[in-house]
Structure 1
Amino acid sequence: MSRLDEPLAGIGAAAHRLRAAVVDLDGTMVDTVDDFTATLNGMLAELGARPVSREEVSGYIGKGSEHLVRTVLAARFSAEETEARFAAALDRYQAHYAEVNGRHTRLYPDVEPGLAALAQAGVKLACVTNKPHRFAVALLEKYGLARYFSVILGGDSVARKKPDPLPMLTACNALGVPPAEAVAIGDSENDALAGRAAGMTTLTVPYGYNHGKAIQTINSDGIVPTLLEAARFIANPSSGSGATLNR
Structure 2
Amino acid sequence: MKRASIQAAIVDLDGTMVDTLGDFAAALNGMLADLALPAIAPSTILPMVGKGSENLINLVLKHALAQTVPAQAAINTAALFDHALARYQHHYGAINGQFSAVYPGVVEGLQTMQQRGWKLACVTNKPVALAQALLQAKGLDGFFRQVYGGDSFERKKPYPLPLFKACEALGSQPAHTLVVGDSSNDAQAARAAGCPVLLVTYGYNHGEPVSGVDADGLLDSLAAI
Instruction: Name the amino acid aligned to 1:199.
Output: G
Shift of 1:76: 2.5
Corresponding position of 2:129: 134
| Aligned residue among 6, 28, 34 for 1:40 | 28
Corresponding position of 2:168: 173
Corresponding position of 1:63: 51
Shift of 1:89: 0.3
| Mapped pair 1:120 → 2:115 | yes
CA distance in 2 between counterparts of 1:57 and 1:105 reads 15
Question: More deviation in 187-196 or 221-230?
Answer: 221-230
| Aligned residue among 71, 89, 97 for 1:94 | 89
| Mapped pair 1:53 → 2:41 | yes
The size of the alignment, in residue pairs, is: 218
Q: In structure 2, the residue corresponding to 1:16 is in which secondary structure?
A: helix
Following TM superposition, the consecutive aligned residue runs of length 4 or more in structure 1 with deviations greater than 2 angstroms are none
| Mapped pair 1:214 → 2:202 | no
Instruction: Name the amino acid aligned to 1:95.
Output: H
Instruction: Name the amino acid aligned to 1:156.
Output: D
Structure holding more helix per residue: 2
CA distance in 2 between counterparts of 1:134 and 1:153 reads 9
Shift of 1:28: 0.3
| Mapped pair 1:84 → 2:79 | yes
Instruction: String of CA shifts for 1:100-149, please: whole Å, max 9, x gaps.
Output: 10000111011111111111110110000000111101110111111110
Corresponding position of 2:194: 199
Shift of 1:15: 2.4
Shift of 1:48: 1.0
Paired residues of 2:40 and 2:64 also in contact (CA < 8 A): no
CA distance in 2 between counterparts of 1:216 and 1:120 reads 29
Corresponding position of 1:28: 16
Instruction: String of CA shifts for 1:150-204, please: whole Å, max 9, x gaps.
Output: 0100111111110000011110010000001011100011000001100000100
- The two structures, once aligned, show a CA RMSD in angstroms of 0.8
Q: In structure 2, the residue corresponding to 1:55 is in which secondary structure?
A: helix
Q: In structure 1, the residue corresponding to 2:50 is in which secondary structure?
A: coil
TM-score for the superposition, normalised by structure 1: 0.87
Corresponding position of 1:108: 103
TM-score for the superposition, normalised by structure 2: 0.95
Gaps of 5+ in 1: 1-10, 231-247
| Aligned residue among 150, 153, 156 for 1:158 | 153
Instruction: String of CA shifts for 1:18-66, please: whole Å, max 9, x gaps.
Output: 1011000000000000100010000000111111101011111101111
Q: In structure 2, the residue corresponding to 1:75 is in which secondary structure?
A: helix
Corresponding position of 1:244: none
| Mapped pair 1:189 → 2:184 | yes
Question: More deviation in 68-77 or 176-185?
Answer: 68-77
Shift of 1:227: 1.4
Alignment of 1:213-232 (within 5 A): 213-230=208-225
Paired residues of 2:39 and 2:64 also in contact (CA < 8 A): no
CA distance in 2 between counterparts of 1:29 and 1:166 reads 21
